[in-house]
Structure formats: structure tokens, C-alpha cells
Amino acid sequence: MEKDKILLIRLEGPLQSWGERSKWDYRDTADFPTKSGVIGMIACAMGLERTDAQIGKLCEQLYMAVRADRKGEVITDFHTVTAEKLLKANGEKRANGNTVISRRSYLQDASFLVALEGEDTVIEECSWALEHPKWSIYLGRKSCVPSVPVVGVVIAGGHGSLEEVMKNQPLTARHDSRISYQIESDREGYARSDVRLPVSDRRYGIRFVKVGSFVPEKED
């Protein structure tokens, strides 16, 4: 069903990281931005605390599509943390030493166009927050800062489907030879575990996305 407005967001920077299956000392990145990550970025701009139920409501109120103008390259960084007293998540002292080695993956030199589709008031609130962020905006992790403004344009009613938006919006000047995209669907496509549940701080639900691609027309 076509909603009233679409908000376009540009996610581009030297590094991005959109964890979807991270555990313990390994922090992965998905090849496309996660919905929880994008909504989390907007929640950060709104000044919402992590436990605010409004974050889960935003996930329910918005449909998301993502186009990879540049997929980027996955790189992995090794982090070493040493201290006299390292604590576990529950506050207890670690029994296996005072050094922790972790692996963290990033997307290098990627550029994505995100389209969020929803009711007028929700889209306008998200757009205003991104233009006037209360807290700093970053691309999945605090070390991943955007290199261009994330705010795009708000498209009013009559914009067509999300797939048409993915195909018709201008590409970045430097883009891949084949463009891939993902569009959120009610029951079709493959499952991604990246939807923040309204009543939970750290639990995520399933959503379905349809995938597609196209070859851009060559410029004269």
C-alpha cells in the first residue's frame, strides 16, 4: 500500500558498519544497512534513549528500501583492550585475564540511498530531527561518521512504488556498474533479523525484503 510521503537519506562515509549477527568478541557488518540501525540513527537525532518505546514504534510505522550505489569493500579491524580490571556485561570481573581481543568488520567506501515510507507526520518528524539532530549522527558505529549530509528530500504523495523510487532517483557520481537494492515486504523475499521490537531493549524481530538490481544507463 502506498503511504503519503517518502524520506530519502544518503548514507556515505569512509567506513560504515551495520551489525546483524554480532556476538561476543566478533562484530559483523551486513552488506546493506539494517532497519534497526537506520531507525536507531533517527532516534539518536531525536534524542531518544535506547529504552524508549518510541524506537520500536518507528520500526512499525515506516517501510524501508535501500539502494547500494556503491557496495564498498568489507574490511576487518582487530581491537585489543587491556586494563587492570576488565568487567563482563553483568559487572563481574573477567576470569580469563585483563586483555580482550575483538574483531570488528566495516564497509569501506560504500554509499547507500535509503527511502523511508510512512505517514506525513512521521516522515516530517524524522526529516526535522535529521536536520536538527540532538545527538551526533553516525553510520552504525560511533567511529563511522558520514562524509555527506544524511538528509535528502521528502517526496510527497504520488511518488509511485518504493521500487520505482529505487530505480528513478539519481545515482551518486561514482557508482557500481550494477546497482542492487532491497525493499521491505509484508511476506515476500528473504528474512532479515533487524527489526527492533517495541517492548524490548535488545531483542529483534524478523522482516522480509525483496531484492532486485539493474544496470544504469550510460551517460552520453
* Domain limits, the chain: 5-72+107-214
| Euclidean distance between CA atoms 162 and 2, whole angstroms | 9
Which parts of the chain sit beneath pLDDT 50?
Answer: 1-2
| Euclidean distance between CA atoms 38 and 59, whole angstroms | 10
Strand partners, 26: 23, 103
Q: pLDDT (tens digit, 9 = 90+) per residue, 125-182?
A: 999 999 999 999 999 999 999 999 998 788 886 678 899 999 999 999 999 999 999 9
5-72+107-214, CATH topology level = Alpha-Beta Plaits (3.30.70)
Residue 70, number of CB atoms within 10 A of its CB: 18
Q: Which of 44, 8, 26 is nearest to 139 (CA)?
A: 44
Looking at residue 53, what is its pLDDT?
85
Grouping H, G, I as helix, E, B as strand and the rest as coil, residue 101 is: strand
Looking at residue 70, what is its pLDDT?
98
Looking at residue 1, what is its pLDDT?
44
| Euclidean distance between CA atoms 68 and 115, whole angstroms | 12
Q: Which of 129, 168, 172, 166 is nearest to 151 (CA)?
A: 129
Looking at residue 4, what is its pLDDT?
81
Q: Which of 127, 130, 141, 135 is nearest to 30 (CA)?
A: 141
Looking at residue 220, what is its pLDDT?
58
| Euclidean distance between CA atoms 7 and 24, whole angstroms | 34
H/E/C letters for each residue in 131-147? HCCCCCCCCCCCCCCCC
DSSP H/E element including 75: strand 73-82
Query: Is the CB of residue 194 less than 8 Å from the CB of residue 35?
Result: yes
